[in-house]
Amino acid sequence: MFTPSIHLRPGVTNRNQWQGAERKNAVTPKIRKTVLARDDNTCASCGHRAMKWMHIHHIADEENDDLENLATLCPACHAVMHFGRSMQWGTLEIWKVDIQQVEIVRATREGIKNGQSLQEVNASFKLKRGRLAPNSMKWANNLLESMESEPRAELPEPLCAVFVEFSRWQLDV
């Protein structure tokens, strides 16, 4: 049975870690290979295992490439962890949902694999419009403004990220 090592919550990274600085986009190929091998190409949040497309996620400090600060995430879970950027790309919206975020990722992946559309998958979640769905980007910006010096901030439950657009590689079905 898979036990997640990272609790999946929609979050944002403090702008002090990325704004105004030219941050490298990825860890070195050697570190990437080491982390993927250590984690057996398995997402630390949802347990999805794939040989392609897996991402390396900085758990806390974006500048710290120590192995203890790095984890393997599938593209879908990584999109959730950085939901502000994902919303800019049109991939996610924020909704009130009565299930855990990790179950949304798993059900979306399974539904797409079984030929369902995103609309059909999302209908099964019984989405509640709440105050955020049409203004998801505004919520992300408010979260950024409120976080002060913390490296990351997460949305409170029951708010979750729901996929509204994706590329096949993002779910790697």
pLDDT tens, 129-154? 665 556 667 767 777 777 777 777 78
Residue at 155 is within a domain: yes
Residue at 112 is within a domain: yes
Residue at 22 is within a domain: yes
Residue at 130 is within a domain: yes
Residue at 105 is within a domain: yes
CA atoms within 13 A on the CB side of 39: 33
Give 15's pLDDT tier (boundaries 50, 70, 90): low
Pairwise pLDDT comparison (38 vs 152), residue with the higher score: 38
| Strands, E assignment, 44-114 | 55-58, 70-73, 92-96
Residue at 65 is within a domain: yes
- Say yes or no to pLDDT of 83 above 80: yes
Domain span at residue 77?
11-171
CA–CA gap between residue 27 and residue 98 (Å, rounded): 36
Residue at 2 is within a domain: no
Give 95's pLDDT tier (boundaries 50, 70, 90): confident
Q: Are 162 and 120 in contact (CB under 8 A)?
A: no
Q: Are 143 and 10 in contact (CB under 8 A)?
A: no
Which helix (DSSP H) or strand (DSSP E) does residue 85 occupy? helix 83-88
